[in-house]
Structure 1
Amino acid sequence: MSEFSAPNEIRIVRIYDAPLQAVWDAWTDQAQVGLWWGPRGFTITTHSKDLRVGGHWTYTMHGPDGTDYPNSTLYHEVEPLRKLVYDHGGNADRPPLFRVTVLFDEVDGKTRMDMTMALADAETAAQTRTFIRHANGESTWDRLAEYLGKRLEDEEKFVINRSFEAPQDVVFDMWTTPEHLARWLPPAGMEMRFLRADIRPGGGSFYCMSNPMITMYGRAQYEEIQRPKLLVYTQQFCDEHENISRHPMAPTWPETMRTKVEFNAEGPNRTRVTVTWDVAGKATAEELAVFLAHRSSMTQGWSGSFDKLEAVLAA
């Protein structure tokens, strides 16, 4: 691992566009935490939540396949609006799986969450990291961002994060250089080629994605580019003449989507990418419902592309 965390630790940092009080309340209020806690597709039932030193949070996590996962949290430190320290996973019959320290800080009107899970040793940490990856465990913190956006601004969003072991400039180039984009962005089994690419504020691109069974065209319009920190663009499906169309297999998908990509350095050779997707312009109630219903499949799709980006960066 990088200098970002110790070998026996798993560290996750997020910046939420929300006041510190709102993020703290989302974590600590029993009614709110039940609306976002857990990987995408999971729900929870809280049996008791006693937020104090020595108190417990006891809950059951319900998997999308119907499996129930009992959970218990024991709080060691509770500093309102500042810090939580707790053991996760222990009960009367077994020791805790790991100790969690969460720090909350206000940064320019936003909230920085810095969470560290400390495990027994590096091997256990590596195993847990793999488990979290396969279970989409980090989508929990993406769901928190979505929840805060809906609660505070009444905005419906899709959010996904991934950290890459590469410098910020290099990762930024992977998103803004057409030949790099074509190597990792398309879904598994599809090839991508740019028919036109003018990646600058006010510029646009026209591209094609295909496999032996289907060919799709799309176009992007770039609204904001701040190297190496920010990229904002809108996307639409279109035909080969750039006339606006709809996804060939999802005719009620919204016509125009906006993608916001934020690049944050987590060290000299580590970069966290945050993708926020929302509907641009008007959308019908049916289109918005389709967008919200497909957050799990969007997670799978972006995760597959991110896996390919990791491979490209490693090569």
Structure 2
Amino acid sequence: MTSAILSTTPDSEIVTTRVLNFPQKLVYKAWSDPEHLKNWWGPKGFTNTFHEFDFREGGKWTFTMHGPEAGNYENDVEFIKIDKPNLIAWKRHSKPLFQILTTFEKIAENQTKVVFKMLFETVEECQKLKPYVVDKNEENFDKLEVELSKMTL
């Protein structure tokens, strides 16, 4: 998969948008600081073990997601674009293959719009995951809001 951000159509992306009642800098910190990211990343009931978190373009993020029932899910990603505090993008080297493009838009002093896009090379790959991940992405954002409520700048 390319390191350039994929050009997609609505049929080959899954988009989750949420307005958070927190400042843009704090929201960005929750996504870019592994001490916070590990606390909320993943759907309800999932926990993480981070092995490497090199937050720079070309840097690697490797981690294991631990499912609530059973199962460990290895993740190997590479950061491909970082524009603090507006954008973070990465591509997965582990299956399923897709890119993540997340933008952080300051709406007001204590309000940030986050747009989380999962970008796929084909419509078929996107449609395979869509039934499973739409609700899980919302659970992920619910956990993010809990983490944000505990954070300070």
TM-score bracket for the superposition, by shorter chain length: 0.7 to 0.9
What letter corresponds to residue 118 of structure 2 in structure 1? M
Equivalent of 1:13 in 8, 11, 17 = 17
TM-score, normalisation: structure 1: 0.43
1:60 counterpart = 2:61: no
The residue aligned with 1:49 is: 53
1:97 counterpart = 2:97: yes
Q: How has the CA–CA distance of structure 1 residues 137 and 106 changed in structure 2, closer, same or farther, with 3 Å as cutoff?
A: closer
The CA distance in 2 between the partners of 1:32 and 1:147, in whole Å, is 7
Question: Following TM superposition, by how much is the alpha carbon of 1:51 offset from its aligned partner in structure 2, in angstroms?
Answer: 0.6
The residue aligned with 1:112 is: 113
Question: Following TM superposition, by how much is the alpha carbon of 1:43 offset from its aligned partner in structure 2, in angstroms?
Answer: 0.2
Task: Encode CA deviations 1:30-88: one digit per residue, 9 max, x unaligned.
Answer: 11111111100000000010011110111000001131100011111111101111102
Checking the alignment, whether the CA contact within 8 Å between 2:91 and 2:99 is kept in structure 1 is yes
Q: Where in structure 2 are the equivalents of 1:145-164 lying within 5 Å?
A: 145-151=145-151
What letter corresponds to residue 148 of structure 2 in structure 1? L
Q: How has the CA–CA distance of structure 1 residues 106 and 133 changed in structure 2, closer, same or farther, with 3 Å as cutoff?
A: closer
TM-score, normalisation: structure 2: 0.86
Unmatched 5+ residue regions in structure 2?
1-8
Greater C-alpha Rg: 1
The residue aligned with 1:142 is: 142
Task: Determine what percentage of the aligned residue pairs are the same residue.
Answer: 29
Q: Which runs of 4+ in 1 moved over 6 A?
A: none
The CA distance in 2 between the partners of 1:64 and 1:115, in whole Å, is 23
Q: Which has the higher contact order (CA 8 A, sep 6+)?
A: 2
Unmatched 5+ residue regions in structure 1?
153-315
What letter corresponds to residue 128 of structure 1 in structure 2? L
Over the aligned positions, Cα root-mean-square deviation in angstroms equals: 1.7
Aligned length: 143
Question: Following TM superposition, by how much is the alpha carbon of 1:24 offset from its aligned partner in structure 2, in angstroms?
Answer: 0.7
